[in-house]
A and B are shown apart, each in its own frame.
Chain A
Amino acid sequence: MSRLFPDVPGATAGPLFLSRGILVGASLILWTFSAITQVGSFDGSSPDHSGFTAVALDLIGCCAAFLASAPTTPRRQLPYVRLLWLATSITSGVMTAQGVTLASGYLALAFNVMLGTALVFLVCMRWDLMGFMLLSAANSVLSSFYYATTPRFGSGEGLLIFFITLIPGLLGALFVVGIRSRMEEQFARHSAQALTALNQHADTRSSAHTEELSATHQQIQELFERAARSEGRPLTPGLAEEAQWLASRLRAQLMVAHSGNWLTEALVLAGLDSTATVTAQPDLLQRITQAQRPAFLAVTMLLLKPIPDGPRQGSGQPGTVHVYVEPHVDDQLLITWRVTGLNPNRCTPALWSEVESLGAPRVHSDPGGASIIVHVKAPRLW
């Protein structure tokens, strides 16, 4: 499947920009209407076993769609959950269509396909745009097929049903495509602004160290000039001592320059070092490949930064993030983000998308917060 925003990391999550709460609410409203018309003989039809079964299958489909949109559902399970939803939707649609007569059952079918259309949005919340459009189109064709099997086929209503089910998908896709350029522009602008600001910050931070190193370097140059002037005559003890001292000093400065690690330095640059604690040996952090580092840092920063008009990511109170990196078997590292006050269910899809790009996550919740654990493949440096 092609990606919606190929240049934006993790942009495949939540491509419809709709709140999951809205979709769940809308689906439940439609399921209620569907159940009333199926079971409650609302339109004059007589309730039977197939109607009850269709309602039950719709409910299972709702649960499957709910799971498929849940951020904590492992990505590898998503195809199976989507397939489960599709199976329940088709079975329920066929059973509902079987109950349609010339005088009744049409409304039940209409609500059934509308529910299916709403659930397409929910099922595709963690899919990309192409997947969403494909499923929308499949849902429209299936809905028309259900109608085609009823005795009312040929009156033109099938076309209406096809339209009704196709419209939301079409609108959703148009909406996404319509704001795509805005998203890309915004991402590019944010990146440029962040690069400028962080570069200035980095310049300020490194100037002291650079000056110190430059001073040592100047002294070394002077020493080498004096050594060159000696024309190979035996060196004075003072010069050898000075060389020894400068070597120690230079070595110490190089050690200091390499004493930090990329994660801490990035967090310091972003001004987030006060709320994040990194517990990891520099060696282990170095083993994390360059390709994995942006996602690792993005997860840490997403957990640290507050969401608009609300508390920090998924929490009800400000908290801190502890990042632990430990060695694991088979050249793997165990990364743990321990976040106080974190409610994993309120974390945004972008966070899970970044976590899953590192590996399959496990989540442990407790009254104090939650831990997100992921195994990362990180071969030893030598």
Chain B
Amino acid sequence: MGAWITRLAAYRPTLERSDLLARSGAVMGFVFVAASWLYLFPIMGGPLWHHALAWALVMVLAVCFATLMRTDLWPLRLVIVVGLIALSELLAGASYRQDSDSLLLAHSLLIGATSTVALSLRGSWQSAAYTALLAVLVFGHTITTSIQHRLGPTTFSILVGFWLIMLAIRHTAPRALDIFLRDQAVKAESVAAQAIVRDRSSAAAQDARHLHDTVLRGLTLLARGGAGLAPQDFRSMFAAGAYDDDGPGLRSTGTLTESTMADGRPAALRGGGGVAVVESSTATDVASWLKARAREHSRNGFTVDVFGEGGTLPPDVLLAVADAAGECMVNAARHAGSDHVDVLISRTGPVVSVLVSDAGRGFDPGSLPAESFGVRHSVVERMAHVGGSARLLSTPGRGTTVVLEVEAA
């Protein structure tokens, strides 16, 4: 029995699957038939067998359109065309319709539904010839009945319009869809490329900030012979591992691994004023962190005072604010020519602001070189990385204020 079924299945003709347009044509044809049927059937005249035949034809057409959703095999299209011609004649035959009659529109709609078979046209001469044959059948019937019953050219014109539109759709819609899909593919690629570049730049910037704030500062100190450092500070600074939680370029892309210890708590692990201070902290409020940073940087006559309260911040944001503020303190100590910095913390709603001000020599922010790592990467980009912002307010001779702002939420 199983062998019989297999043998029969082997003899079954290979069905050509309907594409998207052919399936749309099936839906369109069905809706046209249904609309005409709803309008024409209640006012249809003729003997009872006409009604029965019309019902049967509608059923056959419904089945054909349903089948067309799966395959557009050529006999199916022939049955649809013949069925539609027969139905149009039954529902609104020549004896009932005239050019000025309202039946004309419904009849034209039915006969126009034959144009949906044009959506199954393929790029081969056999398919073109067969579709042309179906068109000849429909147009031949329309012209013949129009001449025979002396009807006007309205139905013929509507039919031409329907077929032209369907052929145009068949010709251009696949390309329009291809172009749309191609645009989507290009956009997907652009989104992916942008995401990769963003993540890698972010990771590289983190590495650069880390190296700038710790390693490069240590190297500069060594290059100056370690001047100004007490022996115990010197040892703790260059002790093995004090600088490295990872090597450069080894961090996972776009993460904040550098700012989080293994137990998930943030750790203040940064150099300040040439000194690296390893200070685990469980505090999550901005003031405590900034006061700790102020203590790190207050040395050799340089002092940092912290005022105000800013409440708590998420660990990564807190670390970024503390690091950016620390970098501002370092810059002030190095370049401002002032021996004092004030740090003012305030909170307005969810926004935490940190102002780092000195009364030093100031500078023109517009003249800041593009390759300046200290401000660009260690302050501005660091804040931007956690969704915050940094503004630099400075005038030569009138000091510098850096405004760091971030939302607590």
Contacts and interface: CB of A to CB of B under 8 A. Distances in A.
Interface of A: 8-11, 14, 17-19, 21-22, 25-26, 29-30, 33, 42-44, 103-104, 106-107, 110, 152, 155-157, 159-160, 163-164, 167, 170-171, 174-175, 179, 183, 186-187, 190-191, 194-195, 198-199, 202, 206, 209-210, 213-214, 217-218, 220-221, 223-225, 227-228, 231-232, 234-235, 239-241, 243-244, 246-247, 250-251, 254-255, 257-258, 262, 265-267, 269-270, 281-283, 290, 293-294, 297-298, 300-302, 305, 307-309, 348, 350-351, 354, 381-382
Nearest to B238: A228
B240 interface: yes
B188 A293 contact: no
A14 B180 contact: yes
A239 B102 contact: no
A119 to B, nearest CB: 14
Interface of B: 20, 24, 27-28, 31-32, 35, 38-39, 42-43, 99-100, 102, 104-106, 109, 152, 154, 157-158, 161, 164-165, 168-169, 172-173, 175-198, 200-201, 204-205, 207-208, 211-212, 215-216, 218-220, 222-226, 230-232, 234-235, 238-240, 243-244, 247-250, 365, 368, 370-371, 373, 375-377, 380, 390-392
A202 B196 contact: yes
Contacts of A227: 222, 226, 234, 238
B84 to A, nearest CB: 16
Contact of A228 (B195, B239, B391): B239
A196 to B, nearest CB: 9
B191 A103 contact: no
Given A217-B248, A235-B226, A160 B105 contact: yes
Nearest to A43: B100
Contact of B39 (A30, A156, A186, A250): A156
- Report, nearest first, the 10 A-B pairs whose CB atoms are least far apart: A232-B231, A243-B222, A350-B183, A190-B188, A194-B192, A247-B219, A228-B238, A210-B249, A19-B172, A244-B223
B219 A22 contact: no
Contacts, number: 283
25 contacts: A19-B176, A22-B168, A171-B31, A186-B181, A186-B185, A187-B188, A190-B185, A195-B195, A206-B200, A210-B248, A213-B248, A220-B215, A224-B240, A228-B240, A232-B231, A232-B235, A257-B208, A265-B201, A266-B196, A266-B197, A283-B370, A298-B186, A307-B179, A348-B183, A382-B390
Given A262-B194, A302-B183, 14 more contacts: A8-B184, A107-B100, A159-B38, A170-B31, A174-B27, A191-B191, A194-B192, A194-B193, A251-B373, A255-B371, A257-B208, A265-B201, A297-B190, A382-B365
Contacts of B186: 298, 301-302, 305
A217 B208 CA distance: 12
B191 A18 contact: no
Nearest to A379: B389
A305 B182 contact: yes
A262 B27 contact: no
B197 A269 contact: yes
Contact of A270 (B184, B189, B223, B373): B189
A238 B216 CA distance: 18
A157 B102 contact: yes
A110 B247 CA distance: 76
Contacts of A258: 204-205, 208, 371, 377
A156 B173 contact: no
Contacts of A157: 39, 102, 105
B35 A163 contact: yes
Nearest to B192: A194
Contacts of A210: 248-249
A152 B172 contact: no
B247 A167 contact: no
Contacts of B247: 214, 217-218
Contact of A247 (B182, B223, B373, B391): B223
Given A18-B176, A156-B39, A283-B370, A171 B27 contact: yes
Given A21-B172, A22-B165, A297-B194, A155 B187 contact: no
A42 B155 CA distance: 12
Contacts of B102: 106, 152, 155, 157, 160
A164 B173 contact: no
Contacts of A254: 208, 211-212, 216, 373
